[in-house]
Structure 1
Amino acid sequence: MNAPIIDPLQGDFPEVIEEYLEHGVMKCIAFNRRGTLLAAGCADGSCIIWDFETRGIAKELHDKDCVAAITSVCWSKDGHCILVSAADKSLTLWDVVSGEKITRTTLQQTPLQARLHPGSAKSLCLACPLSSAPMIVDLNTGSTTVLPVSVSDTGAGLPPPSRNKFSDGSPPFTPTAACFNKYGDLVYVGNSKGEILIVDHKNKQVRAVVPISGGSVIKNIVFSRNGQYLLTNSNDRTIRIYENLLPLKDGLKVLDELSTSCDEVDEAEKLKAVGSKCLALFREFQDSITKIHWKVPCFSGDGEWVVGGSASKGEHKIYIWDRAGHLVKILEGPKEALIDLAWHPVHPIVVSVSLTGLVYIWAKDYTENWSAFAPDFKELEENEEYIEREDEFDLMPETEKVKDTDVNEDDEVDIMTVENESVFSDSDMSQEELCFLPAVPCPDVPEQQDKCVGSTSKLTDSNHSGSPLSEEAGQNGQAMNHASSPVEEDTGGTRLKRKRKPSEKGMELQAEKVRKPLKTMKSSGKISKIKNKPVLEQDTDSYVFADDVTDEYH
């Protein structure tokens, strides 16, 4: 699509379903950093990698030891590895290029979500289990470090008691959301008390606390791509956006300075005071009419749009707001529940997963601005007769040539240097990224031949009307198949025969037999059936073919 012919006043958000992907029952999706590959976890334990440009399957990762449904997929920053969490409590790290399993770790609880460290440490990941606190997992050794989920757990850093309750007697433990910041030196944890904890995962210490109004359970927490905004989804049916006041790098040093300068004596109040200087509430999003819950919220690739997927059963609705808080679009899909979605890192494309396992691709419905082709282009409301100029089609003399341009043809053109894209502000990686994989062609599935199932009368009617040729049955009274009839039913109505092509000799005999006319007689007192239709013999001059006559006596 040419950018100059696109209306600039149109919003950069998707509007219609452009296509859908189908392969098994897919449960979760994730784009790589460039948006060229899409990974999808399936219900049978496999991970499918789609080439998003060609919509073809580039790789299929399947572990014979894993047959449980995939709960989350996560790409490494360079795109060479994929972390897959499954319902059988396993974490598997895959090499994308070779398709081989690097390592596999089994946890004590089912991980609902797992995220690789955004830095160069591919062996570290953050896992959020079903009924325990978030933990840092070393994939090489299998060791786990449980993170604190409340201020009371700061010193010990231990998991909650065995009865799924906090040590301070709070309500039973619920799944906790957590995510790394942009460079992975801090972990932001959202707990069931409605608090955002900023945790130093190396020392297992809570460095700041940000309370949320209402104190509802935080179900999702995610950073924008540039790390400047934090999004939370709570049980009070509200999506909140916080502005990150900490620097993207060396956030721990700033936290130490803030903690030292704070004059609060009480430890809890001190952490809240530090938290107020780390995150600032920017905007709240909710549907004030229907008050629906949100299943999966996320940012757009540039952070300008906020997306929320409806959690209502049987609804596939996607709400899109601008960062100022205005609802700009509601995308309504098929009558299938939405379970996961992701925004393309570069383009205005949203990919959503339905409960049936299909992946829908939402794209923008572009309207071309044809007047942008040339300055003298004119759009006509209706057809007009064109009157040519007098010299419009005159031959121009060869002496008149195009004016010379100011371009110096001797200058060397650099076609090797690749400029960093503005979308990727941190494109300073020393290791080459994996952007594309060769697509694997899928063989066509031969269509099964439809079987004709019907009553005896319907088959008989279709056979007589479809072909002028027929043969009488032998001793059993069974009819042969016609050339245009796929199946034929025998006299007992219990067996179907496939069509059989007659031989050349049989066709010649059949043609000679058909050509012989038979003159019917009025005095015979018989009724003839022509093509299964009874006709009274009243016209002595009428002729019928011998094959079409069946005599019946009164």
Structure 2
Amino acid sequence: MNAPIIDPLQGDFPEVIEEYLEHGVMKCIAFNRRGTLLAAGCSDGTCVIWDFETRGIAKEFRDKDCVAAVTSVCWSKYGHRILVAAADKSLTLWDVVKGEKIARMTLEQTPLQARLHPGSSTPHICLACPLSSAPMIVDLQTETTAVLPVSLSDTGNGVAPPVRNKFSDGSAPFTPTAACFNKYGDLVYLGNSKGDILIIDHKSIQIRGIVSIPGGAVIKNIVFSRNGQYLLTNSNDRTIRIYENLLPPKDGLTALDKLDHELAEQDEVEKLKAVGLKCLALFREFQDSITRVQWKAPCFSGDGEWVVGGSASKGEHKIYIWDRAGHLVKILEGPKEALIDLAWHPVHPIVVSVSLTGLVYIWAKDYTENWSAFAPDFKELEENEEYVEREDEFDLVPETEKVKDSDVNEDEEIDIVTVEKDSAFSDSDMSQEEIRFLPPDPSPDIPEQQDRHVVSTSKLGDGSQSVSPISEEAGQNGHLTNHESSPLEEDSGGTSLKRKRKPSEKVLDSENVRPSSKMKVSR
């Protein structure tokens, strides 16, 4: 092929609903790192894992102690574990392959969001954002917590002592606070109700930098791009802001120590703000200046080139897509159901959204095929034309075309073992132990029950009874065969027993025939 089949100028973003998934009432979703598995939390407390390639259910986690709705699901780095947060204030860590519960912990407040530490393949540390208290670092192994500061007034000098097994009582007015780990999990970026982004060392519970957003509106969402280069915030002023991360991807704490040393002579508050300016730089702002839409569940695409946000208006299922330059490129309009969560596929141009009714919609690209790519002389026709064949077109050796010798070396060995690296993942992200697919877990076959029947009696018009064999299973379940319209066949012996249809009263009167007291059986 001399040209790609798919037109590269079409844009690499979804356009139409390709399919939808249905299983109970789903509330939240999360892809694994490869996008091969999709986890969905349901209203009955279960967590379902879909095989995204086959659109089938691969595994289902059901905790008998949890019957409340799931508020958040999160995969570990290599997919070995999954963290489920529920409305009954519980955090449950599951082993994905074994389907076993690793740990379970109950908080004092309902966790609206919970994220596992991204720097470990089998983490037991997570970041929880409760409903009416400050975000906290939770150790599921030791069942201890450390509450993070949400402002300088909580620390005095920027340092807060770790609080173990102690939670905020929620007595003071408190709005839900958004927080997330950076790419390698050595720092926590927290957005508070005053419009500040706090950069926190979660091990020492120390604020290392402060960035104030324009307007000082409440920050509702905060999330990093996949490569850790950009940070996204969603505020109450109906604006999505993109910040460029100026810290190195790795060893962010080391870079902060150098900045602290350079700015040691400044006042504590001024130093934190100066450090923040050298950590994050405002890159772009996104908003709908006409309708002034509030945004819900904004995030980046897998490659970070696109920004997506859902409309928070009731009864609307609209998804807005911008390019990183700030241009609105597409508005996806779904069914008349409110949107509650969405996620962009890590690798492909696919968006998955969750509606208020519990359905998961899969948005994919509507590709337009470029048929001229199949041959250099291929011609696309707008309408049918009469074809005139050449005189030598079907000759064995046409004179107008010469067969060229192939340049392919047939003796060259072909490597079918080496797997090419995916450009969407860095070398540090690659792992041979990563779980991409779950092994099939087929349900056992139900043995067929032959030669087991129960006797069912039905009265005819003259008071006589007929006997017909019905399977015991059908009799127990109440699914009886309609014998008036269909014959019943007996499996044993290969003999077919057919029951004749009862003549109508009109036929009986016309023929002066009365029904016999016994039903005739024909073999």
Alignment TM class, shorter chain as reference: 0.7 to 0.9
What is the distance in 2 between the residues matched to 1:421 and 1:283? 28
User: What SS is found at the alignment partner of 2:261?
Assistant: helix
Compared CA separation, residues 317 and 440, structure 1 to 2 (3 A): farther
Superposed displacement of residue 163, structure 1:
5.3
What is aligned with 1:18?
Answer: 18
Over aligned residues, Cα RMSD in angstroms? 3.0
Compared CA separation, residues 419 and 502, structure 1 to 2 (3 A): closer
Deviations 1:151-196 (A, max 9, x none): 122323478974544xxxxxx2211100000011100000111000
User: What SS is found at the alignment partner of 2:60?
Assistant: strand
User: What SS is found at the alignment partner of 2:189?
Assistant: strand
Compared CA separation, residues 32 and 261, structure 1 to 2 (3 A): same
Deviations 1:423-458 (A, max 9, x none): 1124554451100114556899xxxxxxxxxxxxxx
User: What SS is found at the alignment partner of 1:273?
Assistant: helix
Q: Does 1:368 align with 2:369?
A: yes
What is the distance in 2 between the residues matched to 1:362 and 1:508? 53
What is aligned with 1:156?
Answer: 160
What is the distance in 2 between the residues matched to 1:337 and 1:396? 66
Superposed displacement of residue 402, structure 1:
5.2
Are 1:353 and 1:359, in contact at CA under 8 Å, matched by a contact in 2?
yes
Superposed displacement of residue 394, structure 1:
1.2
What is the distance in 2 between the residues matched to 1:84 and 1:508? 59
User: What SS is found at the alignment partner of 1:405?
Assistant: coil
What is the distance in 1 between the residues matched to 2:350 and 2:124? 31
User: For 1:58-97, what aligned pairs fall within 5 Å after superposition?
Assistant: 58-97=58-97
Are 2:191 and 2:219, in contact at CA under 8 Å, matched by a contact in 1?
yes
Deviations 1:59-87 (A, max 9, x none): 00111111111110000111111011111
Are 2:3 and 2:373, in contact at CA under 8 Å, matched by a contact in 1?
no
Report the identity percentage.
79
Deviations 1:209-236 (A, max 9, x none): 0001111110100000010000000011
State the TM-score, normalizing by the size of structure 1. Answer: 0.78
What is aligned with 1:449?
Answer: none
Q: Which amino acid aligns with 2:116?
A: L
Are 1:176 and 1:191, in contact at CA under 8 Å, matched by a contact in 2?
yes
What is aligned with 2:132?
Answer: 131
Superposed displacement of residue 102, structure 1:
1.0
Superposed displacement of residue 141, structure 1:
0.7
What is aligned with 1:452?
Answer: none
Compared CA separation, residues 379 and 259, structure 1 to 2 (3 A): same
What is aligned with 1:9?
Answer: 9
What is the distance in 2 between the residues matched to 1:251 and 1:243? 14
Are 2:80 and 2:435, in contact at CA under 8 Å, matched by a contact in 1?
yes
Are 1:118 and 1:180, in contact at CA under 8 Å, matched by a contact in 2?
yes
Superposed displacement of residue 292, structure 1:
1.4
What is aligned with 1:218?
Answer: 219
Are 2:296 and 2:312, in contact at CA under 8 Å, matched by a contact in 1?
yes
What is the distance in 1 between the residues matched to 2:499 and 2:413? 79
User: For 1:222-371, what aligned pairs fall within 5 Å after superposition?
Assistant: 222-262=223-263, 265-371=266-372
User: For 1:477-516, what aligned pairs fall within 5 Å after superposition?
Assistant: 500=484
What is aligned with 2:390?
Answer: 389
User: What SS is found at the alignment partner of 1:9?
Assistant: helix
Q: Which amino acid aligns with 1:34?
A: R
Aligned length: 463
What is aligned with 2:109?
Answer: 109
User: What SS is found at the alignment partner of 2:10?
Assistant: coil
What is the distance in 1 between the residues matched to 2:427 and 2:44? 36
Superposed displacement of residue 405, structure 1:
2.8
Q: Which amino acid aligns with 1:419?
A: E
Compared CA separation, residues 3 and 43, structure 1 to 2 (3 A): farther
What is aligned with 1:408?
Answer: 409
Q: Which amino acid aligns with 2:378?
A: F
Compared CA separation, residues 443 and 329, structure 1 to 2 (3 A): farther
Q: Which amino acid aligns with 2:184?
A: Y
Superposed displacement of residue 417, structure 1:
1.4
Structure 1's consecutive aligned runs of 4 or more residues displaced over 3 angstroms after TM superposition are 157-165, 400-404, 426-431, 438-444, 472-476, 501-511
Superposed displacement of residue 354, structure 1:
0.6
Superposed displacement of residue 322, structure 1:
0.6
- Unaligned stretches of 5+ residues in structure 1: 166-171, 445-471, 477-496, 519-544, 548-554
Are 1:148 and 1:158, in contact at CA under 8 Å, matched by a contact in 2?
no
Q: Which amino acid aligns with 1:141?
A: T
What is aligned with 2:474?
Answer: none
User: For 1:50-61, what aligned pairs fall within 5 Å after superposition?
Assistant: 50-61=50-61
Are 2:231 and 2:242, in contact at CA under 8 Å, matched by a contact in 1?
yes
User: What SS is found at the alignment partner of 2:412?
Assistant: coil
Are 1:25 and 1:43, in contact at CA under 8 Å, matched by a contact in 2?
yes
Deviations 1:96-148 (A, max 9, x none): 11111111111121111110111116011111111111111111111111111
Compared CA separation, residues 365 and 506, structure 1 to 2 (3 A): closer
Are 1:147 and 1:157, in contact at CA under 8 Å, matched by a contact in 2?
no
What is the distance in 1 between the residues matched to 2:99 and 2:86? 18
State the TM-score, normalizing by the size of structure 2. Answer: 0.82
What is the distance in 2 between the residues matched to 1:505 and 1:321? 68
User: For 1:423-502, what aligned pairs fall within 5 Å after superposition?
Assistant: 423-439=424-440, 474=462, 500=484
